[in-house]
Amino acid sequence: MTTLSDSPLVSRLEAAKHCLVDGVTVPAVYSDLESEYRALRERAALSDQSHYGKFHISGSQAVDFLSFVNLPDIARLAIGKTASSFMLAEDGSVFAECYVVSTGDTYLLLTEGRDKTEVEEYLKKHLENFEATVKDVTEQFAMLQLDGPYAWELLKDLIGVKVLGLRYLETLDNQRIGSATVQIIRSGKTGEFGYSLIVPRDQAVECWDTLMKTGERYQILPVGVEALDLCRLENRFPNLRRDCAKVANPFEMNCRVMFDREKDDHLGRSAIEELTTEGPARRIIGFVASDESNAIPELGEKVTLAGEVIGEVVNAGYSFMLGKSIGLALVSNDVAFVGLDFHVGNRTVTTSSAPFVYNKSMDIRPQEHSFHTKG
Amino acid sequence: MSAAPPEVLTKIEERKAILTAIKEELVDRLELEFEPNDIDDDTFLFGGGLSLDSIDSMEIIIGMQSRFGVMVPEDDSSPLRTINTLADFVIREGGSL
């Protein structure tokens, strides 16, 4: 377990509430969940992502190794691009979530949803048939995350207009934020503009402080895991700590398009291939409470249709944007469709399309809009 | 198979028909490397998921008009999020198969 004092940003992570994520203690809520949520949804928000494992994968068969352990084909990944992916176990279940960043001769693997020591063991276990090496660089780098509909404008103030040309899952290397040297990945799991910032450990505080200082003009707030997880739920990004903790395979997570029929053999392939004809037994479907109570359904609570148990609640929260409780249920595949009324306890919920919300970032054109004119 | 009431099963079959037609239209029109059955209903069109781009969005708008007779307004991108949000729009606008 990694305690807060192990983080290079420990002095910046004082919060009202902390929690354990992937074996690392991180801020859950700095001061107030709704304020942090509003910063994420309306302005700009900064968070520490110390729970990510970070690994350099190199060698002549680095790409073959990464393709073997990942669901999508990493060989298709161009230099300077990033894949958002799942690493699989032999039985086709999801072992961890990750970003694979192609930097040319080396790949950067950023892992989430699993303690990094378990990830390292997993990688080394499957490495034996490949000419590749794995180097754990988790402690050498910090990872910050800047999200929000005006995150792009804050970064533009610091590194210039080149950030505007950065498309989703593209990277910019060797950028200066204050005196820190930073690798920037356009990413995020909130549905708003988002950027992951990889920075050497000894420069992390400088980077954090520069972003917070410049961010004052965007009313930036530091945000904890609870606000990030709520936005993640609203936008239906899979969350291995929550909704995906009980799934048996990626198909139950609605991630069927990540499976590549043409790809060479990989971990879990035979189990996944069977699903392409049979389909998954269960599937995650979103739901919205029909009432306006802010009571949040319990995880594991039974979901029923016409009195029959069809599944259980696997994630839930109160959407400040909708003014209603929302959630995800893992239910029988044959009834995992939108527009149906289910029951959770004595409450009626209606199944709903992904995503739950319409993001402000969808309407923002960086060439035309600015936080300062609220356009 | 769950013992869902007949009216629920009817509703599911009606939605399935629209979802399948949308997937077929997208695969055909955009020449996607997927089979329609390989696309989940909650698959995102842009960013992750199908990883489409802004040019594809015009093709989707044209496809919805020609296949279902519904017009997605150019200034409203809310239907263009996932297969399911497209289906919501088609149903709301009274589109026909």
Q: Where are the beta strands (DSSP E) in A105-193?
A: 107-112, 133-136, 141-147, 171-177, 180-186
**Does the CA dihedral A200-A204-A206-A209 come out positive or negative?**
positive
**Whether B8 and A306 lie within 8 Å, measured CB to CB:** yes
Residue B96 banded pLDDT, cuts 50, 70, 90: confident
**Whether B85 and A353 lie within 8 Å, measured CB to CB:** yes
Q: Using a CB-CB distance cutoff of 8 angstroms, which residues of chain A are in contact with residue B39?
A: 256-257
Residue by residue, DSSP assigns A308-323 as EEEEEEEEEEEETTTT
**Whether B2 and A354 lie within 8 Å, measured CB to CB:** no
What is the distance, to the nearest Å, from the Cα of residue A250 to the centroid of all Cα atoms in its chain? Answer: 15
Mean pLDDT of all residues belonging to chain A: 95
Phi-psi region of B55 (alpha: psi -120 to 50; beta: other; left: phi over 0): alpha
| Closest CA in chain B for residue A280 | B40
Task: Answer whether A146 touches B (CB < 8 Å).
Answer: no
* Residue B48, pLDDT score: 84
- Judge if ipTM > 0.90: yes
Nearest CB among A236, A305, A354 relative to B4 is that of A305
Residue by residue, DSSP assigns A210-250 as HHHHHHGGGT-EE--HHHHHHHHHHTT---TTTGGGG-SSG
pTM above 0.90, yes or no: yes
* DSSP state, residue B39: S
Q: Is the pLDDT of residue A78 over 90?
A: yes
* Residue B54, pLDDT score: 85
Q: Is the pLDDT of residue A295 over 60?
A: yes
What is the distance, to the nearest Å, from the Cα of residue B6 to the centroid of all Cα atoms in its chain? Answer: 24
How far apart (Å, rounded) are the C-alpha atoms in residues B41 and A285? Answer: 10
Q: Using a CB-CB distance cutoff of 8 angstroms, which residues of chain B are in contact with residue A84?
A: 48
pLDDT in tens, A100-155: 999 988 999 999 999 999 999 999 999 999 999 999 999 999 999 999 999 999 99
pLDDT in tens, B35-50: 999 999 999 999 889 9
Interface list for chain B against chain A, based on CB atoms closer than 8 Å: 1-5, 8, 11-12, 15-16, 34, 38-44, 47-50, 77-78, 81-82, 84-85, 87-88, 91
| Closest CA in chain B for residue A260 | B34
* Residue B3, pLDDT score: 76
Residue A264 banded pLDDT, cuts 50, 70, 90: confident
What is the distance, to the nearest Å, from the Cα of residue A190 to the centroid of all Cα atoms in its chain? Answer: 8
**Whether A308 and B49 lie within 8 Å, measured CB to CB:** no
Q: Is the pLDDT of residue A300 over 80?
A: yes
| Closest CA in chain B for residue A259 | B38
Q: Is the peptide bond before A149 cis (omega within 30 degrees of 0)?
A: no
Bridge partners of A145, per DSSP, are A47, A196
**Distance of CA A4 to CAs A19, A22, A45, A49, Å?**
10, 13, 20, 12
**Distance of CA A228 to CAs A10, A113, A324, A347, Å?**
19, 14, 18, 26
pLDDT in tens, A236-260: 999 999 988 899 999 999 999 999 8
How far apart (Å, rounded) are the C-alpha atoms in residues B61 and B68? Answer: 11
User: Once rounded to an integer, what is the mean pLDDT over residues B86-95?
Assistant: 97
Residue A3 banded pLDDT, cuts 50, 70, 90: confident
Mean pLDDT of all residues belonging to chain B: 94
* Residue A184, pLDDT score: 98
pLDDT in tens, A175-212: 999 999 999 999 999 999 999 999 999 999 999 999 99
The CA-to-CA distance between both ends of chain B, in Å, stands at 26
Residue B2 banded pLDDT, cuts 50, 70, 90: low
Interface residue of B14, B32, B81 to substitute, partner A, most A CBs within 10 Å: B81
The two tokens of residue A334 are: 């044959």
pLDDT in tens, A301-355: 999 999 999 999 999 999 999 999 999 999 999 999 999 999 999 999 999 999 9
* Residue B6, pLDDT score: 95
How far apart (Å, rounded) are the C-alpha atoms in residues B40 and B23? Answer: 9
Q: Is the pLDDT of residue B1 over 80?
A: no
Chain A and chain B share a number of CB contacts under 8 A equal to 83
Task: Answer whether A304 touches B (CB < 8 Å).
Answer: no
| Closest CA in chain B for residue A258 | B49
| Closest CA in chain B for residue A187 | B47
- Kindly report the nearest CA distance between residue A336 and chain B, in angstroms: 9
* Residue A197, pLDDT score: 98
Task: Answer whether A124 touches B (CB < 8 Å).
Answer: no
Task: Answer whether A340 touches B (CB < 8 Å).
Answer: yes
* Three-state secondary-structure class, residue B57: helix
Q: Are A112 and A51 in contact (CB under 8 A)?
A: yes
Task: Answer whether A158 touches B (CB < 8 Å).
Answer: no
